[in-house]
Chain A
Amino acid sequence: MKTFQKIKSLYQNIFAFIEKEASTVNLVFFRLGLGLIAILKFLIYSPNFLDFHGQYGMVPWAISKASIYPFLPHIGDVALWLSDFTRQSLDAATYTLYYIFIGACICFMIGFLTRLSSLICCFLHLCLIYAASGYMYGVDVFTQIGFFYCIFFPMGSNYSLDNVLGIRKVIRRSTEAGILKRIVQFQLCLIYFSTAIEKGLGYQWWNGEAIWRTFMLPTFKHFDFGWMAYAPVIPLVMGWSILLIEFTYAFLVWIPKYRTFAVISAVGMHLGIGLVMGMWLFAGIMVCLNLFAFGAEILVDIRAFNWKKRPGLAVLKRFNWSKESAGLG
């Protein structure tokens, strides 16, 4: 009986932690960040869109369709239906879907028919990435995760066109906003923790070779890092730092004293990936997720920081760190 009570109390505590009210301004940030990254990642190869997603692209539909479950959506199926319906060529229908996707992303960002636009974004993004699973990397995975979550949450409850047009009432704080924040927080913790464990299982991250190889791979080569072989301590320290940042993230973000450090380290790591490997979009989506998940808490932590104990940092105090000033109050 006692054990049952304990389990019940644990269950109540966990959900009290998850179902905490939060500001809906966070959702606006998430909407804008996610929408912008989704638009950018397709705009970048807009003129060559059919080379990547078209019927006879580098990975033709026949192949991409064959490599996924039959029940999954594929841009080919939708384009075929659209071309029958509108009497367009398949290529034109594919381009039409591309424009619909961009349009839906813009609607999602400005919060116009937000639920519907997030559903269209999620569905078309899924169709597009299944047609291009051959070129898919981290940014696509995280964008899809973001869109999937957005379907279930009231993304347009604040600072949206829906509010202006009276489609949706303005809600400044909501439990749903808090739940989404917690979900993304947990998801990030799991991602970093699992990737740290998996990296740690190999020897390359412990002896610096992983960093060395990443810098030397022709795929990511922007600068000549050959000199690094003569200073092996640098990649060694970098490899250990990445393991440390990713491994400790899941724990430190829950301790107010270390949260800012943990999140800034992770953001710094992603910006480094953007700079060295040129994966700016991936860096962008990860920074967006991190700031959405912990940005508001970091503002609170900085505000509560005892500046008198750290006179060297007093200059930072001049900045107004209040949640209200950031619109998160």
Chain B
Amino acid sequence: MKRFRRGILLFHFAVVLFTVAHLHEVVKHPLVTGLLDTYSSFSYTNRCFGFFSPGVNDDLEVHIKAYGTDTTRVIPAYFPGDNYIQRLRVRTMFAHFAENVEESTMGLYSRGWGLYIINQNPEVQRVDILVQQNGIPSMAAYREGQRIVSSNFYSTQIETIEE
């Protein structure tokens, strides 16, 4: 029993160390990556814990406009944000949306948002999604008068299909 327990402990920390040291990026053997991914998926213990590293990225803001049959009238549509933690979760989602700047991931997320808004209100037929990036100036630039600048990062339109 003691040996079994020790074996498990050694395995556990070997796996944790392997991931933390980023060795999984070097050793690409399918057996190793499969084992690591599986263990990590359940335990979460062997993750890369580099929060806000190596730097802090610009954050994103999502603007949504929903329309019904009358495309001149905007139907109010929002993401949940009753309290700060909810808003933080939503903001985290925006960060995950652009994590790898992959068109396919961003497309999936935006379709999810479009569907969410359409489900909120049966009147909605079209959802315009605009994602803007808040560019934070450096301290030196701020002293020279530069402020946070929002620039367009991604936009798409989700529509319901008439059958």
Contacts and interface: CB of A to CB of B under 8 A. Distances in A.
Interface stretch (A112-120, A225-233, A254-262, A318-326): A225-233
Contacts of A201: 53-54
A58 B41 contact: no
B59 to A, nearest CB: 5
A219 B59 contact: yes
Contacts of B48: 194, 198
Nearest to A140: B44
Given A187-B45, A217-B56, A208 B37 contact: no
B79 to A, nearest CB: 6
Contact of A203 (B5, B12, B55): B55
Interface residues of B, number: 60
A179 B13 CA distance: 13
Contact of A198 (B43, B50, B80, B88): B50
B134 A212 contact: no
Contacts of B93: 58-59, 134-135
A216 interface: yes
A58 B112 contact: yes
A59 B49 contact: no
Contact of A202 (B37, B55, B58): B55
Contacts of B41: 68-69, 72
Contact of B88 (A179, A190, A278): A278
A213 B56 contact: yes
A15 interface: yes
Chain A interface category by residue count:
35 or more
A141 B85 contact: no
Given A58-B113, A218-B134, A44 B119 contact: no
Interface in B87-126: 88-93, 96-97, 108-109, 111-113, 115-116, 119
Interface stretch (A49-57, A76-84, A289-297): A49-57
Contact of A226 (B17, B109, B142): B142
Q: Is the interface of B mostly helix, strand, loop or mixed?
A: helix
Interface in B9-57: 9, 12-13, 16-17, 20-21, 37-38, 41-45, 47-56
A136 interface: yes
A195 B89 contact: no
A150 B95 CA distance: 31
Interface string A170-184: 000000000100010
B53 A209 contact: no
B61 A218 contact: yes
A41 B54 CA distance: 27
Contacts of A67: 108
A209 B89 CA distance: 24
Nearest to A190: B20
B42 A195 contact: no
A121 B79 CA distance: 28
A57 B54 contact: no
Interface string A61-88: 0010011110110000000000000000
A59 B94 CA distance: 11
B161 interface: no
Interface centre among B44, B47, B54 (most CB of A within 10 A): B44
A229 B142 contact: yes
14 contacts: A51-B79, A58-B113, A126-B42, A135-B90, A187-B45, A194-B21, A195-B50, A198-B53, A210-B52, A210-B56, A212-B139, A217-B56, A219-B59, A278-B85
Interface of A: 15, 18, 41, 44-45, 47-48, 51-52, 56-60, 63, 66-69, 71-72, 126, 133-138, 141, 144-145, 148-149, 179, 183, 186-187, 190-191, 194-195, 198-205, 208-210, 212-214, 216-219, 226, 228-230, 232, 235, 278-281
Given A199-B52, A214-B52, 12 more contacts: A44-B83, A44-B86, A45-B80, A48-B86, A52-B89, A135-B89, A135-B90, A145-B44, A148-B42, A201-B54, A216-B136, A229-B143
